[in-house]
Amino acid sequence: MSDIKALLEQIDANRAELANYEMPSAARERFDADRRLSVIHSTTVIEGNTLTLQEARQVLEGYSVADKQLRELWEVTNMNKAIDFMEANLRTPLTEEFIKQLNAIVMQNINDTAAGSYRFVNVRIVGASFSPPSPQELRVQMGNLVAQYNSELYLALHPVERAAKLHTDFVRIHPFEDGNGRTARLLMNSELRKHGYPMISINARIEYLKALETYGMSETHEPLVMIITQEVLNEQKLIKEHSLKK
């Protein structure tokens, strides 16, 4: 826990320091586009998307990519739209309706029937040793998740800890037929952005999946806090390297 505390203090110190740096507008536009591409590519790859980083860039630029499933192209396009929606609603309170809207965008043109609607079937998480709740139970648990998020106990956590807990609590419920992981990472990044931290990519896939499994079994979200914090530190370093002191 002491290591986490030190890392959280470091990212807060970095955030304060970065207030004294800025990028020229043209450089900022290119930098933001590259970092968004990294976020989109990493979150779709975790779910099995086979597009390379360059192919994902081509899709976002409106070019066709040969020999790929249409679903994979929509996954990239939809994540880009979902980030737009997330960024436009950073001041919107977290509600079940907001979460459903995120998932609806993530699953647009992939599974329009189920997109944005809580599942009516039981599901299994491949490789997980815990089972998500039944369709009846998940509706109660999603209400509890939002209520807990707005509770004093939740608000007392550091924003990075809140981002990790929101992510893990949501994944454990797995409320949608598909797109749960991508939706969870959008919720995580939304929480980071609300508090002045950059969006992050999840690059350590194996460690990330292990962290989710650890939470599923013991409700310990510290491993995911460590991963998120390290990724925030990486992003902050990149921002500083591409910026000039005011």
Separation of alpha carbons 41 and 30, rounded Å: 16
Q: What are phi and psi of 5, to 5 degrees?
A: -60, -45
Question: Is 195 in the active site?
Answer: no
DSSP state of 21: E
Set 41, 167, 174, 221: catalytic member: 174
CA–CA dist 97, 62 (Å, integer): 30
Which residues make Cβ contacts (< 8 Å) with residue 167, sequence separation at least 6?
184, 185, 187, 188, 224
- What does the alpha-carbon distance between residue 228 and residue 183 come to, in Å, rounded to a whole number? 16
Give the whole-angstrom CA distance, residue 86 versus residue 186: 7
The values of phi and psi at residue 150, to 5°, are -90, 10
Could you list the active site residues?
174
